[in-house]
């Protein structure tokens, strides 16, 4: 019997408590307890997605971005520590890029810790490239952040890149839908 693939959906305020648990396990320090509910109910630029285990319904990861004029700014990607190394970060970034494209964004940007080589490699696979540094960006240890951006995500070259990534994910998780449920 084949295992059901994980599912992507838009985050709702009812998800905030479970997402907060994922945040606390994935990052130290994480956002305050009210941050996600506030993002979902008061920030018109914010779009967040969750990745659920299809069998249990547990949230294994989440990600979010802000829609800023024509730029999608990735604000967070988090996966439960015990759910890492399964391609879930790749699924979440693919879902974020689907959200950005659906909303007509033409590029995406983000900041990532200088020391987080795994995340930097993941973002490079999605066409992000390094354009600068934010000195002492992270409050917990004053680590620098690398600023990364993409070329035109609406273009044919980028769509081909996403199709290749999607094919790899589909090979690992047959039947997965990389368009988050509820995306409108």
Under a CB-based contact definition with an 8 Å cutoff, are residues 44 and 23 in contact? no
Please classify residue 128 by burial: count the beta carbons closer than 10 Å to its beta carbon, then call 0-12 exposed, 13-18 middle and 19+ buried.
Answer: buried
Residues whose CB falls within 8 Å of the CB of residue 44, separated by 6 or more in sequence, listed in order = none
Under a CB-based contact definition with an 8 Å cutoff, are residues 75 and 66 in contact? yes
Active-site residue flag, 137 = no
Q: What is the DSSP string of 51-94?
A: EE-TTT--EEEEEEEEEETTEEEEEEEEE-GGG-SSSHHHHHHH
Residue whose token pair is 């990364």: 148
Active-site residue flag, 111 = yes
From 111, 130, 143, 170, active-site residue: 111
The bridge status of strand 107-113 relative to strand 129-134 is unpaired
* Alpha-carbon gap, residue 40 to 55, rounded angstroms: 26
From 48, 123, 158, 173, active-site residue: 123
* Residues identified as active-site: 111, 123
């Amino acid at each position: 019997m084949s295992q059901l693939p994980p599912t992507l959906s838009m985050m709702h305020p009812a998800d905030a408590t479970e997402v907060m648990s994922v945040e606390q396990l994935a990052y130290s320090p994480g956002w305050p307890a009210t941050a996600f509910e506030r993002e979902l109910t008061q920030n018109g630029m914010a779009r967040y997605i969750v990745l659920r285990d299809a069998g249990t319904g547990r949230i294994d990861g989440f990600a979010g971005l802000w829609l800023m004029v024509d730029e999608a700014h990735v604000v967070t990607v988090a996966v439960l520590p015990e759910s890492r190394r399964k391609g879930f970060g790749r699924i979440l970034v693919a879902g974020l890029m689907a959200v950005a494209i659906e909303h007509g964004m033409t590029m995406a940007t983000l900041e990532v810790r200088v020391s987080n080589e795994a995340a930097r490699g993941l973002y490079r696979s999605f066409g992000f490239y390094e354009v600068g540094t934010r000195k002492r960006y992270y409050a917990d240890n004053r680590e620098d952040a690398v600023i990364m951006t993409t070329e035109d995500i609406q273009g044919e070259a980028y769509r081909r890149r996403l199709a290749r990534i999607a094919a790899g994910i589909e090979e690992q998780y047959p039947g997965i839908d990389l368009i988050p449920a509820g995306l409108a």
